[in-house]
Each structure stands twice: as C-alpha cells, then as structure tokens.
A and B are shown apart, each in its own frame.
Chain A
Amino acid sequence: SQQGEEDPQALSIQEGENATMNCSYKTSINNLQWYRQNSGRGLVHLILIRSNEREKHSGRLRVTLDTSKKSSSLLITASRAADTASYFCATGFTQGGSEKLVFGKGTKLTVNP
C-alpha cells in the first residue's frame, strides 16, 4: 500500500505549546503535502514540500522531509484553539499523466484554551 502512516493518531496540548506530527511513507514520491480538516468540512492545503527540498516554512508551520527515511514532520508553533483539527499528510505521485495524492491516516489535534 502507498498509504502513509502518521503518528500520533491523536494529540492534545495546551494553547501556546508546539505540536509535532510525523508521517512515514513507503514509496518514492514527487512531493509531500500537508492538509488540515475541520470537523464536517473539506480539506485545506497547508504546505507542499518537493522531494528535493528538506525543510519549508509557512507562518507558524515548519515541515521537514527526509527522503532517505521516507518520513516528514509538521511542526505547528505557538498553537491556538483554532488549530484544533485533523491533519493529514499526502504523498504525491504521477499516474496516467496526472498527479495522484495518497493520504495518511491523519492526526487529530486538540488545542485546549
């Protein structure tokens, strides 16, 4: 299966703390993306890191990618209650001339006020 694995499955922290989520995958990838999903809503793209990049920042988000270990991490600094959501990593592949995303199982993050 190409599906990634994320850990932890659930994470509960206090507002202001940092949250780290990890993602591991099994095959070669074009890129790795992180998405957020609030309950009952669609997914929101957070950040994309290409296979030749090692680290990327966007606001309070920091993503790392280690292709030798086939793993990535998402760090959210100074978390807020509004960051409460499920977070998914997704690995990007090319198939049939199109890009295909395979999502990991997700981490459910709860930020307590």
Chain B
Amino acid sequence: DTEVTQTPKHLVMGMTNKKSLKCEQHMGHRAMYWYKQKAKKPPELMFVYSYEKLSINESVPSRFSPECPNSSLLNLHLHALQPEDSALYLCASSQGLLRSGVNQPQHFGDGTRLSIL
C-alpha cells in the first residue's frame, strides 16, 4: 500500500468531458507534484505545489488545471483533453525543500490511468 492515495485508478473520458483527478497524503508533506507518464517512458513533471502555492508549471497546456485546496489534497482538473493526453498520471509528495533545507525523497501514488476517446 502506498501512503499517497490517488483516485480514480482508471478514467475513460471523451474529449469534451470535464473530470478531476484527486490525490491525498497524510504524511504532513508540504510539497506535492503531478507527473505524466507515457508507456515505456519516464515520468515527466507537470506541476509542483509548495506550501499550497503553485511554484513550478512546466509549460503545461491550460486544459490541465491544478488545484491544492489544503496541504493534504491535490487535484488536477481536466477539460477538453486530446487523445495524446492518454497516460498514467502520478501524484507525489515530499517534505519539500524550503522547510528542511535538505533534499528529500518523493513518495508516489499508484497513479490514475487516463484514456481519452
């Protein structure tokens, strides 16, 4: 079992749908991350939240909209996605860089497998 919980595990949606991916952690971590992973490829960073503020956006298209309602929750809102957006979306958390001043490992959820029809 992972300490980062992602829901749903699978999602199939049409290109005109609006859906949200959810991520939750209760480890007291203050940094949370969204990654996109295509088959047989490494994860690619999309967004970083630090202390509930968006600190990194890797030039992600606006059809992906992240939200961090509180320190335990991270959402990714999806709208008007394209077939090429089909992938495994991974959420991760860590203690964060600022507070500890020391680099920390990231803890990953098992991801949401997204298919766009």
Contacts and interface: CB of A to CB of B under 8 A. Distances in A.
Nearest to B31: A98
Interface string B10-48: 000000000000000000000100000000011111001
The secondary-structure label for the interface of chain A is strand
Nearest to A44: B108
Nearest to A34: B105
A81 interface: no
B50 A102 contact: no
Nearest to A31: B103
B55 A101 contact: no
B7 interface: no
A101 B45 contact: yes
A44 B108 CA distance: 7
Contacts of B31: 98-99
B105 A102 contact: no
Contact of A41 (B42, B45, B56, B110): B110
A103 B42 contact: yes
Interface of A: 3, 30-31, 33, 35, 40-45, 48, 50, 88, 92, 94-106
